[in-house]
Structure 1
């Protein structure tokens, strides 16, 4: 659906060159919700702007449905842009137009009849839950309602791609959850491919199928959300994930554990169906070893179970070692130094 092939974007600021995007290659399949996450200055916003050619790549290609959008004529590019909806952090609504007027705006630009426009606006107001707000103005709306108007306007021309630029970062947690549910509804009911950028990992966790982590203009890690969350390879990915996992104990808990003679601590990660099995009990009983769960949780991620536990073991040294070796064949297990937790 969307493919970045060795894409780079360089800006010149006076005598200095800024490499905003560096040799990025990514594929976004049709119907996916694909998240791009990174700290400020990572290059994610620039990467999004390359999709509809608000910025043109310095090198490489951006393909949408196998068409290099950088090679399109001005006329064809305008047509292509009508198939790409955009949702913005700050809503970008016209304060002088009503809710209905804002949604109708792209339809008027497309030259559609008043009857067609009115029908489409009514459909979209119903879809986003604002049927009673048609005659209100943006200043009369809450932040969440404004973003619903933004989503309705982005959907007006029936796009096949929806670009979300930090669409929830100006909203409170409860409203953010509502907007994310609405975006999932958009994806499910219309099959629209959604490409979103964010600096909030809980957004990625909530709705995305795949994720790419950016740093200094480069994609440092990408893949299925479940895989990246449960086994992050890069330190930046680990930092983002830790911001939502909250699965490490405080230093006070660790100090208490150490004061009671705790020496070695192990992280045990369960994925999928294995989470429902009594693996720890079975293996430790077999080797006559006792285990103690110091900290951790089991939760659902992308409709799969994921357990992340910190465990200590008691028993004879050889028995513990044998139990650990067997556990490593069943689950992900690693020793964690107490001071690093």
Structure 2
């Protein structure tokens, strides 16, 4: 659907060159929700703007439905852009136009008849849950309602691709969750491919099928969200995961655990159906060992269970070793705090 082939983008700032995107190759499948995450300055916004040629690549090519959009004429590019909707962090609504007027705007530019515009706007406002706000102005709306207008406007021309540029960054957590549910609805019910950028890992976890992590203009890690989330390879990806996972307790809690005689601590990772099975109880009971869950949680990632627990074991060292050897065949387990005595 969308493919970046060895894409680079360099800006000249006086005598200095800024390499915003460096040799990026990515493939986004039709119907996918694909997230690009990175801190400020990572190059993700520039990469996004290359899709609709708001920025042209210095080298490499961007394909949409096997069409090299960087090779299109100005007229062809205008036609192509109608197939790409875009929503923004700060909404970009016309304050002088009503909600209906904002949604109608791209249709008017395309020369659609008044009757068709009326029907399409009515349909879209119902889809985003704003039928009763058609005559209101943006200043009368909440942030979440403004973003819903932005989404309706982006859908007006029936695009196949929806680009989301930090679409939830200006919203509170509850409103963010509402907008993410709406984007899922757009994807599932309308079959629209969504490409979004964010610096918030919880957004990626909540909505995306696949993710690319960017740093200093490069894609440093990419893959399915579940695999990336449960087994991050790059230190930057691990930082993003840590921001929502909080998989280590505070030093204060660790000190309390040590004061009660704790010496060794193991991280146990459960993935998929096994996260709901009593494997710890079964294996430790078999060898006469007690275990204590010191910290962690079991959560849902991409509709699959993911358990990340810190566990201590109590009993004879030889039996604990047998427990560890048996658990290694079932789950991911490693020692994270060793006995320093």
Q: TM-score, length-normalised on structure 2?
A: 0.97
In the alignment, is residue 222 of structure 1 matched against residue 222 of structure 2?
Answer: yes
Show the counterpart of 1:152: 152
Alignment of 1:216-295 (within 5 A): 216-295=216-295
Unaligned runs of 5+ in 2: none
SS of the residue 2:112 aligns to: coil
In the alignment, the residues of structure 1 paired with residue 36 and residue 338 of structure 2 have an alpha-carbon distance, to the nearest angstrom, of: 33
Unaligned runs of 5+ in 1: none
SS of the residue 1:61 aligns to: strand
- Deviation of 1:67 after TM superposition, in Å, equals 0.9
In the alignment, the residues of structure 2 paired with residue 32 and residue 113 of structure 1 have an alpha-carbon distance, to the nearest angstrom, of: 32
- Deviation of 1:323 after TM superposition, in Å, equals 1.4
Show the counterpart of 1:43: 43
8 A contact 1:254–1:338 mirrored in 2 = no
What whole-Å deviation, never above 9, does each CA across 1:92-113 have from its counterpart, x for those lacking one?
Answer: 0111111111111100111111
SS of the residue 2:311 aligns to: strand
SS of the residue 1:122 aligns to: helix
What whole-Å deviation, never above 9, does each CA across 1:61-96 have from its counterpart, x for those lacking one?
Answer: 111011110011111111100000000000001111
Show the counterpart of 2:131: 131
Q: How many residues align?
A: 339
SS of the residue 1:162 aligns to: strand
The more displaced of 187-196 and 240-249 is: 240-249
Q: TM-score, length-normalised on structure 1?
A: 0.97
Alignment of 1:1-341 (within 5 A): 1-337=1-337
In the alignment, the residues of structure 2 paired with residue 246 and residue 266 of structure 1 have an alpha-carbon distance, to the nearest angstrom, of: 16
What whole-Å deviation, never above 9, does each CA across 1:258-278 have from its counterpart, x for those lacking one?
Answer: 112211110000011111222
SS of the residue 1:126 aligns to: helix
- Deviation of 1:338 after TM superposition, in Å, equals 6.7
What whole-Å deviation, never above 9, does each CA across 1:310-332 have from its counterpart, x for those lacking one?
Answer: 00112222221221111111101
In the alignment, the residues of structure 2 paired with residue 193 and residue 203 of structure 1 have an alpha-carbon distance, to the nearest angstrom, of: 16
In the alignment, the residues of structure 2 paired with residue 172 and residue 288 of structure 1 have an alpha-carbon distance, to the nearest angstrom, of: 49
